[in-house]
Structures are given as C-alpha cells and as structure tokens.
C-alpha cells in the first residue's frame, strides 16, 4: 500500500528570514490561501475553515516545508490511473496562526489573501466561533477571497457567469444572494419582517422571521408528525394484520405497525428473557448436602455489598435458609437441593427449575418467607407465603435435578 499521510506536527519554531522567504515563494507559486465552507444539510453555512495548503508532485519539497516551519501534515492527493502522484501540505487553524504571520511580509502574489485570512482568524476563535455582529465582515472576507482565488475567466464569459450566480438586488451591492432570497445576508437581515403567527399544532402565538416556520417548538412538530403521519399509518397497517399472541402470558394483543412484536408489553418480554437466561442448563450441578451448607454459609454479606445499597445478609439469614431446607427434606427427601444465591433485599434466594419454569423461595433473618412463581395468567410474581404453603407449591412444582453447565451441549 502506498503513501497516505504523515503525522500532524505542531511546533513553536520560529523560521529564519531565509526560510520564511523560501516558504513564501512556494506558497506564492504552488499554494492556496482561502476559506472553505462547512457543508450543512438544508442550505449554506456561515461556518468556515481557514485553509493554507501547498500541492506538488514532489514529496521532498513538502517535507522540506515541514522541516522549515515545524508544522503541518502531508496528504496523498487521489488521482486517476496513469497520473503522477500528487501530495498536499496542509495547516490547521492554530498552525496557520503561527506560520502565516512569519511568511506574510515576503508574499507577493498572495499578500492580500494572507491579510484577509489573518483578519478572519482574529474574528473567529475555535471552538467558540464568531460573534453575530462579525458575521457580515466574515462573509465579506469570504466573498473577496473567492474573487481573488477564482480561476481566470474570459471577458465574454464574465457576463454569463454573473447571470448564473444570484446576486443581491440592492443597488450598489454585488454580493451573492442568501439562501434564495433576493438579498445578500447583510441586506436580508435588514429586510426580513418579524411577524406573529400561530403554531399549527397547539395554536399558541409565536414570533417568526421565516414564513416557513410552522411550529413553536420541536415537541409540537413531533406531535404533529405523530398525529398526521405515524398514527394513520399504524392504523392502516392494523387493518391488514391479525392480532398477536404474547409469547409469555398467551394474551392476545394489538401489534399495530410492528409485525415482529411477540410480547404484549415490556414486562412480559423481560420475564421471558430472564427465565430463559436462568434456565437449568446454566446452573451448576446439584451439590451434596455438606457442600450445599458451606455454600449457604458463604453467602453472608455486609450492607452495600453490591455497591448499590444492598441490605446485609447475616448468619441468622443463612440459618433460616438451612432450617427451611431441613424442613423441606423431611417432607420429601428425594427433592433436589436448590441453587443458593444472595439477594439484594437481605435474603437468601433458593431457586429450583423445572424445564423452562422457575420457582424461588427467599428466606429472611426474621423468619419471613417470600415465593417467586408463575401465576395462573402466566405471569411471574413475588408474594409473602407461609412455610407450609411454600412447601406444598414446591412439591407440586416437581423440580428437576440440576445438570452440569456443559452437559446440554454434549
């Protein structure tokens, strides 16, 4: 792959008189001093970038400019097949502020362009930009630099060129017209009429200088778009689409304009995702009783253990969880041991799995017990429960033994 660009360099180096004169001669013969407008959708912009660059097919010449000035970057200019490679030496705004004043006294052809560009840099300070009252002067600088840098036009083409570019209609003004108006920017500021109008959405009064303005705020514009475009389109799509069936709870719901919608609301979607993320294939294998007791005892936590204000898990909490397990195994000794984990609410979570369903019991230090299970409508809910009721639901749940983490793939 060929040359693309060099590293951008900035140095406070001061050139000697001979170096400054040499650089000025190169800029006079091969360089460009001007302003480049920033392109913006919907019209022209009053934001400009200062430009000082030298183009040449000799890479060694541009490298010499970097050595003399201590500033700049070299880019490879894209050209067609069969043409010699061309390179550009370019300076940023701050680099121009440092280099141009040193070479300006030695410029001959581009003396006026350097004066205009230095004046522009006095008016514009990056990244703040220019003041509103300085915009007319900046536009005048841009206009004059464009005239100075324009390539030669024959006398018989001058009239045709002026007809193609709209100009200000004010007497004695030859500036380019502003955004299709019959005036330049300076005269447009004087001619535009500030009048009162009513917002098309809320009907509230607003002061406008542009007759194309229809809404008092972006909020009203969005509401108008939804009412006149989005909602009618959604209703039209609804006529052509049958209702959907929620993947989580099985309830019929209106899909409106969203053909791929599979859940009736975000809560059903999150519940479905949580159950499948926490499927039994992702749990560790069922341990023996001694390892399980050690696991529960190790869940002791201090307050704020998760970094978000979680409640403390004490030895009493772990003891309540183990007592609950003893009581469950007395009722049915063939039930598998659950997966124990800490809860941010100060409880020990004991979770069993059966297929794609979950059942969890939360044991608290004060003896309280909560159950997380699937209700009749298909939704999952957490509620307080007595120990005997929790054991009955667990036996009816018929939990399955946990398998190894990778056994499902095998």
Instruction: Render pLDDT for 84-118 as a digit per residue (tens, 0 to 9).
Output: 888 899 998 889 999 999 999 999 999 999 999 99
Query: All domains of the chain, ordered by start, with CATH?
Result: 17-150 (3.10.28.10), 224-277 (no CATH), 280-397 (no CATH)
Instruction: Read off the pLDDT of residues 370-399 as tens digits, 9 standing for 90 and up.
Output: 988 877 666 778 889 898 888 888 888 888
Q: Is 180 exposed, middle or buried (0-12, 13-18, 19+ CB in 10 A)?
A: exposed
pLDDT grade for 186, boundaries at 50, 70 and 90: confident
Residue 228 pLDDT? 86
φ/ψ bin of 303: left (φ > 0), alpha (ψ from -120 to 50), beta (otherwise): beta
Measure CA 327 to chain center.
54
Average pLDDT value over all residues in the chain: 80
Residue 315 pLDDT? 92
**Percent with pLDDT over 90 in the chain:** 19
pLDDT grade for 265, boundaries at 50, 70 and 90: confident
Residue 128 pLDDT? 59
Higher model confidence: residue 45 or residue 137?
137
d(CA 69, CA 8): 12
Question: Which letter does DSSP use for residue 229 in this model?
Answer: I
Residue 279 pLDDT? 46
State phi, psi for 133 to the nearest 5 degrees.
Answer: -70, -15
d(CA 66, CA 72): 6
**pLDDT of 173 higher than 80:** yes
d(CA 323, CA 320): 5
Residue 61 pLDDT? 92
Do 71 and 95 contact (CB within 8 A), yes or no?
yes
Listed range (3-12, 253-262, 306-315) with the worst mean pLDDT: 253-262
pLDDT grade for 334, boundaries at 50, 70 and 90: confident
d(CA 260, CA 376): 26
**pLDDT of 236 higher than 90:** no
**pLDDT of 274 higher than 60:** yes
pLDDT grade for 239, boundaries at 50, 70 and 90: low
What's the average model confidence in pLDDT over 217-245?
Answer: 77
If you average pLDDT over each of 133-142, 182-191, 316-325, which comes out highest? 316-325
d(CA 58, CA 88): 10
Residue 409 pLDDT? 34
Q: Model's pTM, two decimal places?
A: 0.41
Residue 282 pLDDT? 44
Residue 407 pLDDT? 36
What's the average model confidence in pLDDT over 224-229?
Answer: 85
Listed range (291-305, 314-328, 366-380) with the worst mean pLDDT: 366-380
Residue 259 pLDDT? 64
What's the average model confidence in pLDDT over 118-146?
Answer: 82
């Amino acid at each position: 792959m060929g040359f693309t660009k060099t590293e951008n360099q900035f140095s406070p180096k001061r050139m000697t008189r001979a170096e400054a004169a040499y650089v000025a001669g190169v800029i006079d013969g091969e360089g460009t001093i001007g302003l480049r407008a920033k392109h913006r959708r919907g019209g022209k912009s009053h934001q400009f970038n200062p430009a000082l660059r030298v183009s040449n097919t000799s890479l060694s010449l541009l490298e010499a400019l970097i050595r003399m000035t201590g500033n700049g970057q070299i880019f490879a200019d894209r050209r067609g097949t069969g043409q010699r490679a061309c390179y550009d030496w370019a300076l940023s705004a701050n680099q121009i502020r440092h280099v141009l004043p040193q070479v300006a006294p030695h410029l001959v052809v581009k003396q006026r362009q350097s004066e205009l560009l230095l004046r522009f840099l006095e008016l514009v300070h990056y990244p703040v930009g220019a003041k509103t009252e300085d915009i007319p002067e900046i536009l005048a600088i841009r206009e004059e630099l464009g005239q100075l840098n324009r390539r030669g036009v024959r006398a018989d083409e001058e009239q045709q060129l002026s007809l193609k570019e709209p100009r200000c209609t004010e007497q004695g003004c030859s500036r380019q017209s502003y955004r299709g108006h019959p005036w330049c920017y300076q005269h447009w500021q004087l001619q535009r009429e500030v009048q009162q109008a009513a917002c098309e959405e809320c009907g509230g009064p607003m002061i406008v200088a542009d007759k194309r303005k229809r809404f008092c705020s972006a909020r009203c514009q969005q509401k108008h778009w939804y009412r006149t475009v989005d909602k009618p389109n959604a209703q039209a799509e609804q006529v052509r689409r049958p209702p959907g069936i929620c993947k989580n709870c099985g309830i019929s719901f209106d899909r409106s304009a969203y053909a791929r919608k599979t859940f009736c609301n975000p809560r059903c979607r999150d519940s479905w995702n949580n159950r499948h993320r926490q499927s039994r294939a992702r749990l560790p294998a069922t341990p023996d009783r001694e390892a399980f007791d050690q696991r529960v005892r190790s869940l002791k936590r201090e307050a704020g253990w998760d970094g978000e204000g979680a409640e403390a898990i004490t030895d009493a909490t772990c003891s309540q969880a183990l007592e609950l397990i003893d009581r469950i195994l007395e009722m049915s000794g063939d039930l598998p041991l659950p997966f124990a984990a800490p809860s941010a609410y100060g409880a020990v979570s004991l979770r069993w799995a059966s297929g794609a369903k979950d059942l969890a019991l939360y044991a608290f230090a004060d003896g309280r017990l909560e159950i997380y299970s699937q209700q009749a409508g298909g939704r999952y809910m957490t509620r307080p429960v007595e120990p005997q009721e929790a054991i009955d639901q667990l036996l009816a749940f018929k939990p399955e033994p946990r398998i190894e983490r990778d056994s499902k793939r095998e």
